[in-house]
């Protein structure tokens, strides 16, 4: 199965004297370091029930002054996220506008101004400038190999919980930063709950689309299929239903190892 082309990204600029504090009160990760210098943060926006709405990168380039942040987001998620940010903005001194910049990414030597992808070293770097470029990296193979979820194959708005999708392991949530939308539910899952479901990697034979239900031989549902790459797949699974043969449509799956 060949890798899918990358989904279009949009870059938005969040500016103004309250830009950092505004985002700090909304997203799952700590963006305060971006008030002190360049960097790249991966974060999510949740609904009040603690479920995923969107994920994105928040960037500050070396050439940008304090208070000017870039939001790098899947173009399909951008309209809804921008509507929410305008609602949450209230009287904050924040300006939100589409940026003409584009994002390039790669896994080879990083060009000047590039920022390391904070999720995993295997994901290389991201560079914000006038043109977009991609090296021939098989990004889906990297994601499957390192259990890295992506919208919409794994991350589903108003359905996914970020701790079940590995956000803590991938540096997408900070439990010391204070309040944000959905924080109480996320903290409770972290400190008071043993997760019964999560993102896993499976062996797969045959073809099935992301979103296909994964079932046990007796028909009980065990999980949902995500990205497939090179005989391996990501899946959101119940941990107590991983043993034995599994099916997703015409595909056959089993746990690795």
Last residue of a domain, one of 88, 106, 137: 137
CA distance 160 to 141: 22
230 in the Ramachandran plot: left (φ > 0), alpha (ψ -120 to 50) or beta? left
The boundaries of the domain holding residue 212 are 196-255
Q: Is residue 218 part of a domain?
A: yes
Predicted confidence at residue 135, as pLDDT, reads 85
Predicted confidence at residue 4, as pLDDT, reads 63
Summarize the confidence of residues 33-47 as an average pLDDT.
97
Query: Which residue is associated with the tokens 């963006």?
Result: 31
Q: Is residue 158 part of a domain?
A: no
Summarize the confidence of residues 88-93 as an average pLDDT.
92
Residues 14 and 115 in one domain: yes
Residues 123 and 50 in one domain: yes
Q: Is residue 123 part of a domain?
A: yes
Over residues 185-242, the pLDDT tens digits come to 999 999 988 999 999 999 999 999 999 999 999 999 999 999 999 999 999 999 999 9
Residues 110 and 211 in one domain: no
Task: Specify the number of domains making up the chain.
Answer: 2
Q: Is residue 58 part of a domain?
A: yes
Last residue of a domain, one of 102, 121, 137: 137
Q: Is residue 86 part of a domain?
A: yes
Over residues 113-153, the pLDDT tens digits come to 999 999 999 999 999 999 888 789 999 999 999 999 999 99
Last residue of a domain, one of 116, 137, 158: 137
CB 236 within 8 A of CB 199: yes
Q: Is residue 215 part of a domain?
A: yes
pTM of this structure: 0.95
Q: Is residue 228 part of a domain?
A: yes
Strands 39-46 and 95-98: unpaired
Query: Which residue is associated with the tokens 């979103």?
Result: 211
């Amino acid at each position: 199965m060949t890798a899918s082309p990358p989904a279009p990204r949009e870059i938005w600029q969040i500016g103004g004297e309250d830009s950092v504090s505004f985002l700090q009160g909304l997203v799952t990760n700590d963006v305060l370091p971006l008030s002190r210098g360049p960097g790249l943060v991966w974060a999510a926006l949740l609904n009040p029930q603690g479920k995923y709405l969107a994920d994105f990168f928040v960037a500050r380039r070396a050439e940008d002054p304090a208070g000017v942040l870039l939001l790098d987001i899947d173009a399909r998620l951008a309209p809804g996220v921008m509507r929410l940010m305008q609602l949450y903005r209230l009287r904050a001194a924040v300006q939100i506008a589409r940026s003409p910049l584009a994002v390039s990414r790669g896994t080879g030597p990083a060009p000047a101004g590039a920022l390391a992808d904070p999720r995993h070293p295997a994901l290389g770097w991201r560079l914000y400038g006038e043109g977009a470029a991609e090296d021939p990296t098989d990004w889906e193979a990297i994601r499957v190999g390192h259990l890295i979820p992506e919208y919409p194959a794994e991350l589903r708005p108003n359905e996914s919980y970020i701790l079940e999708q590995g956000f803590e392991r991938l540096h997408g949530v900070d439990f010391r930063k204070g309040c944000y939308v959905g924080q109480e539910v996320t903290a409770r899952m972290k400190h008071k709950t043993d997760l019964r479901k999560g993102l896993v990697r499976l062996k797969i034979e045959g073809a099935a689309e992301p979103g296909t239900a994964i079932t046990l031989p007796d028909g009980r549902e065990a999980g949902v299929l995500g990205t497939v790459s090179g005989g391996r797949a990501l899946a959101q699974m119940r941990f107590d239903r991983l043993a034995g043969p599994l099916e997703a449509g015409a595909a056959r799956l089993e746990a690795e190892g």
